[in-house]
Amino acid sequence: MVEVIDVLMNLERMNGSFNKREQRVADFVRANLDKATLMRQSDIASAADVSVATVNRFCQTIGCSGFREFQIWLARSVAVGMQYLREPAESRIEPAALVDHVFSTIVDGLNLARSQITKEMIDGACQLIVAARRVVIFGTGGGSTMVAREA
């Protein structure tokens, strides 16, 4: 299975922990998500006032093999994120169609989350739980509270 890299999540999670020059690249990318998916590496370097090598190191720091892979995963991350920000095209959408839209968006999000979880991650989490002195499980509203009670 191919490892999925959520560039947007990595940008948020690592924000502030990049070195000074890589942080400039991160700041530029975060402020120009759509634009950055189409720009050349040299253009991003120029816009962030860093070298092309710094842009490449930044891409590797967030988990990509290089700039090309970074652009692909960034475009995918932006496309997935836009599903949650876009309103339905029709201003008067039928209730049944709206329900279908909401559920399919949720399923897409769950599928993305599932694709990012590896067997190694699950094994590691299991080992931590087994080794823990205490495990606290909780939920906040909806079905998560019931799941927490069952655990």
Total domain count, the chain: 1
The answer as to whether 94 is a domain residue is no
pTM greater than 0.85 (yes/no): no
Q: What CATH number corresponds to the domain at position 66?
A: 1.10.10.10
Residue 128 pLDDT? 94
The answer as to whether 72 is a domain residue is yes
The answer as to whether 138 is a domain residue is no
pLDDT tens for the 151 residues of the chain, in order = 446 667 888 888 898 999 999 999 999 999 998 899 899 999 999 999 999 999 999 999 999 999 999 998 888 887 766 655 455 555 566 767 767 777 787 788 788 878 888 899 999 999 999 999 998 877 665 566 566 566 6
The answer as to whether 16 is a domain residue is yes
Q: For residue range 21-32, what is the model confidence (pLDDT) as tens digits?
A: 999 999 999 999
The answer as to whether 141 is a domain residue is no
Could you report how far apart the first and last alpha carbons of the chain are, in Å? 29
Contacts 24+ apart (CB under 8 A), 29-35: 29/74, 33/8, 33/74, 33/78, 34/78
Q: Contact, 112 vs 84, CB < 8 A? A: no
The answer as to whether 126 is a domain residue is no
The answer as to whether 28 is a domain residue is yes
Structure tokens at 7: 């560039």
Give the residue numbers spanning the domain of 77: 1-86
The answer as to whether 136 is a domain residue is no
